[in-house]
Structure 1
Amino acid sequence: MRVVIIGGGAAGMSCASRVRALDPSAHVSVFERSSFVSHAPCGIPYFLEGLSKISDLMHYPPSFFREKRGIELHLNSEVVEVENGELRVREGGAERKYFWDVLVFATGSLPRVPPIENTELEGAFFVHHPSEAERIAREIEKAERIVIIGASYLGVELAEALSSRGKKVSVIEMFDHPLPDFDPEVVEPLEKEMRSRVQLLTSERVLALEGDDRVQRVITDRREIPADLVLFATGVRPNVRIAEEAGVRIGETHAIEVDEHMRTSVEDIYAAGDCCETVNLVTGKRVWIPLATVANKQGRVAGANIAGRNLIFPGALGTAIAKIFDLTVARTGLTEREATEEGFEFFVSYVHPYSHATYYPGAERMTIKLIVEKNTERVLGAQIIGRKGVDRRIDVLATAIQSKMTAEDLFNLDLAYSPPFSSAKDPVNVAGAVADNILRGEVRVITPEELAERLRRGDFPFLLDVRNEKEVKKGMIKGAVNIPLDELEEKIDEIPKDREVICYCATGLRSYIACRKLMQRGFRDVKNLTGSWESWIYDEFKVFPEN
């Protein structure tokens, strides 16, 4: 059996390795346009920062696949046409023809080029493939003023890498916050951190690059920014041209349509990785998720099935994580915006637990936002930001969402505990408990966004701040009345029973207790501000009492 794989990235080499492992008699050939195989584009920012070598951006060198796994590698080889049972390849200055019994498209992605004038100017680069990283690194050495277009995962990681090297960095993002795939209030601490380190320009569009022989400035719809170097981090699109020309069906996401066995619409042709679709495990709909984790698994499934097995790839959640400066931000499943667009009936909850027991040194708060479906009580999505412990919790939540767990299930998870690592109630348990309280009707909630929108309309409920005097001096919501929780019983007559009362504290626990006390004393319209002061990002409704 002659198996030909187009693309030597994560999906392609995973597929090739699996075929050879299960069927040593198969002749497996991989055609890769660059000199890199099993490459790691996610590592480019760390190479540019000086934390790794260029050779580190290949999981294994080409010699490993040739000598240890018996895979025929064709590097610096461009496939120009695919026909039934054969393909034409441009390599070594000439075109050659090769034959196949089974074909795999693992062609990955291409940079998404925005409608900006003069992107071809010298000194402007689309950061996408490790083969380009050394050239970019040489340009960075000579540059002082670097503009990054796009505050994607890659964009914010580049911002950290280059600012740590003493460069003057500007990041331009067309949406109103960095990491637009997250809900805005989740990444608000990240936005503040970035603004303290680099020039972050949000809600701003780049119109053109300008310069004589090379880029000298970036023109936006608001200003002109001097630039010695411009790096594009504007996302990617599926690389499907050759597949489409070969008659393979392209799906609604503009990526190659595949079934759960990674088979395309054409017999004996498979696809895997960033060039093909998958299924969202929450919605059940076709989606395109260009992540290395997905690509590796799809490649393995395709390779196993080519070798005669019967594996399936059920889909993905889009679980992702990034470290930016001292913060870690992660997500899995649906965001609030995505859940709204999909028509789910849901609520959101916020908690701000510590990464581990506070009596052990180094504990740090994190914020966990859950999206929970009302009728099924299952968790639809989660986002976390913090300085410690984010990675472990997002993986637990991804496992829970893939297993269709409910908020109550999260609370009941038997998770490891020792003071250096967690608390007796892990942050995931706490998040589950708070969401379950809402589901059980123990307290009604209002989100910070909902309250801020009401305040903008002039709709002011009675806001009850139950924090202590020291906390209040650091800021409170405009119009709120402060009655510390310890004084609530003796001052309860100061709270009007004929008005809606919204309680808040630092993180939501004490205000939950306050809500329960008020309800027990006959108050009928009481709500807890989920996430409380820690989730309140609306500066126009913040006041700072002097006394």
Structure 2
Amino acid sequence: MKVVIVGSTHAGTAAAKQILTRHPETAVTVYERHDNISFVSSGIYLYLTGKIDRLEDMFYASPEDLVKLGATVRTQHNVLRIDTAHKQLQVADMQTGRVFEDTYDKLIMTTGSSVAVPPIIGIDQANVLLCKNYQQAQEIYATAKDHHHIAIIGAGYMGTELAESYAETDHEVSLFQSHGHILNNYIGDELSDRAVQLLRDQGVHVHLNQRVTGFRSDDDGQVVIEGSRGEYRADLAIVCTGFVPNTELLRGQVEMDKHGAIIINDYVQTSNPDIYAAGDSCVVNFNPTGKPAYTPLATNALRQGALAGINVFGDIQPYVGTQATSAMQLFDYTLATSGLTYAAAKRDDLPIRHVIYDGPWRPKYMPNPTELIIDLVYDYQTRQVLGAQFWSQHDVSQSANTISVMIQNGNTIDDLAFVDMLFQPNFDEPFNYLNLVGQQAVEQERQLGNDQPRITAMGNWQSKK
């Protein structure tokens, strides 16, 4: 069988490895526009702050790795057209200009995403940069060394992390966000307010509800940022306004959502049975709502890509979906999240309530029992856990993984309240903080007259006798 993989992002690389490890006799050809594969874009801010010395260390695989496994890897090759009816591709060698045809039996689309470039006048100026891939990261690093005041447009993960990086390297930083909260796709209002205050405490100028409408250069060579509430000046502007899927090659040939992301089934297969999709080019199956969603995260890409490499040989291993679990370190705080935020659940008109735990992560008689905030979201009809966000100077990131498993398994607040967790004063209270926030939710329901505990099948010992 001949498998063609278009795009060697995290997903494409994972797919190739699975195919060639399990079925080394398979003819695998990988087409990639860049001269590199599998760049970890989330590591850009680590390079800017000097926490890692070499940007080249942020590749978790190389073309040579795939060649050793038996793949034909064609970097700097751009796929121009795909004819799904005849299983043909038209490809351009970007170095020589030669255009040629190729064919496939099965196709895996892992073309990733690009920075969502908003329709802003002047966005193509030399002192306005985008941030996602290796080449863009190199340009940002080289350019920012000679500029003091950096303006960042967009306060998602990438923009917020860049704001931290430049603040830590003695730059003046202005962060513009069109919403009233930062990181609004990942955390609720309570934690967003804390993150904004932390940024401001570190000298970052955070401009909320400020939509950027244009850029222009002034006589001194600075970039003028035209906003909905005024004008600002900086030496350099970096646009981090989210991502859009690169799916033009299959437009009109497979089913897509309103964002242009490819729709997949439980085996990461598209509406065309000979085409699979993984990573930022496609949707995820989002377990908290049971609906498809566009959630471009490296973790989703790796899992979907590996499954594409497995299921291209048949419906072997289903995709269990995702909770979009993620985390970041902002200065000396840990922020972690899994599932729905309260605001997102309200927008979807779900029957939800939430509780906020605010207490120490371990007994107060221990050294440094720093504050921990947990925002727990649950369905008050089914009592199922739908999401949680964490904020603390203590590293509580792994708790988001625990919540992720509970959401995926359909566990309830009653399960969370009493699930077995360790106790040792070095690590937590006699009831772990996850137990405590679960108990808080149970008590809230009791006070509201909904005192009907629901326990899922987590390990009934009597039923196993």
Superposed pair shares fold, TM > 0.5: yes
Deviation at 1:36, TM superposition (A): 1.9
Residue 17 (structure 1) aligns with: 17
Deviation at 1:295, TM superposition (A): 0.8
The equivalent position to 1:236 in structure 2, one of 234, 238, 243, is 243
Asked if the contact 1:3/1:28 (under 8 Å) is kept, the reply is: yes
How is 1:3-402 mapped onto 2 (pairs within 5 angstroms)?
3-52=3-52, 53-67=54-68, 69-83=69-83, 84-91=86-93, 92=95, 93-181=97-185, 182-197=187-202, 198-211=204-217, 216-244=223-251, 247-308=253-314, 310-402=316-408
Asked if the contact 2:244/2:259 (under 8 Å) is kept, the reply is: no
Asked if the contact 1:393/1:427 (under 8 Å) is kept, the reply is: no
Aligned partner of residue 103 in structure 1, secondary structure: strand
The equivalent position to 1:403 in structure 2, one of 409, 412, 430, is 409
Distance 2:175 2:17 in 1: 39
Matched AA of 2:61 = Y
Give CA-to-partner distance per residue, 1:366-409, whole Å, 9 cap, x none.
11111122221111221111111320211111111111111111
How is 1:492-531 mapped onto 2 (pairs within 5 angstroms)?
none
TM-score (norm 1): 0.78
CA RMSD of aligned residues (A): 1.8
Q: Which runs of 5+ in 2 are unaligned?
A: 451-465
Asked if the contact 2:130/2:136 (under 8 Å) is kept, the reply is: no
Distance 1:39 1:419 in 2: 40
Distance 1:443 1:265 in 2: 46
Asked if the contact 2:245/2:281 (under 8 Å) is kept, the reply is: yes
Asked if the contact 1:346/1:372 (under 8 Å) is kept, the reply is: yes
Distance 1:417 1:37 in 2: 44
Aligned partner of residue 321 in structure 1, secondary structure: strand
Matched AA of 2:233 = P
Residue 453 (structure 2) aligns with: none
Deviation at 1:307, TM superposition (A): 3.3
Deviation at 1:221, TM superposition (A): 2.1
Aligned partner of residue 307 in structure 1, secondary structure: coil
Q: Which moved more, 1:430-439 or 1:217-226?
A: 217-226
Aligned partner of residue 352 in structure 1, secondary structure: strand
Aligned partner of residue 436 in structure 2, secondary structure: helix
Q: Quickly say closer, same or farther: Cα 1:215–1:271, change in 2 above 3 A.
A: farther
Distance 1:63 1:120 in 2: 35
Distance 1:179 1:334 in 2: 13
Matched AA of 2:55 = I
Give CA-to-partner distance per residue, 1:203-231, whole Å, 9 cap, x none.
11112111169652212122322221111
Distance 1:149 1:253 in 2: 21
Which structure is larger by alpha-carbon Rg, 1 or 2? 1
Deviation at 1:282, TM superposition (A): 1.8
Residue 459 (structure 2) aligns with: none
Asked if the contact 1:34/1:131 (under 8 Å) is kept, the reply is: no
Distance 1:21 1:327 in 2: 40
| Number of corresponding residues | 442
Distance 1:332 1:114 in 2: 28
Asked if the contact 1:140/1:229 (under 8 Å) is kept, the reply is: yes
How is 1:451-470 mapped onto 2 (pairs within 5 angstroms)?
none
Aligned partner of residue 399 in structure 2, secondary structure: helix
Q: Quickly say closer, same or farther: Cα 1:291–1:346, change in 2 above 3 A.
A: same
Q: Which runs of 5+ in 1 are unaligned?
A: 445-547
TM-score (norm 2): 0.91
Q: After TM superposition, what 4+ stretches of structure 1 lie above 3 angstroms from structure 2?
A: 212-215
Residue 521 (structure 1) aligns with: none
Residue 457 (structure 2) aligns with: none
Q: Which moved more, 1:177-186 or 1:141-150?
A: 177-186
Distance 2:366 2:170 in 1: 35
If asked which structure has higher relative contact order (CA below 8 Å, sep 6+), I would say: 2
Residue 503 (structure 1) aligns with: none
Asked if the contact 2:222/2:233 (under 8 Å) is kept, the reply is: no
Asked if the contact 1:348/1:370 (under 8 Å) is kept, the reply is: yes
Give CA-to-partner distance per residue, 1:461-484, whole Å, 9 cap, x none.
xxxxxxxxxxxxxxxxxxxxxxxx
Distance 1:78 1:442 in 2: 60
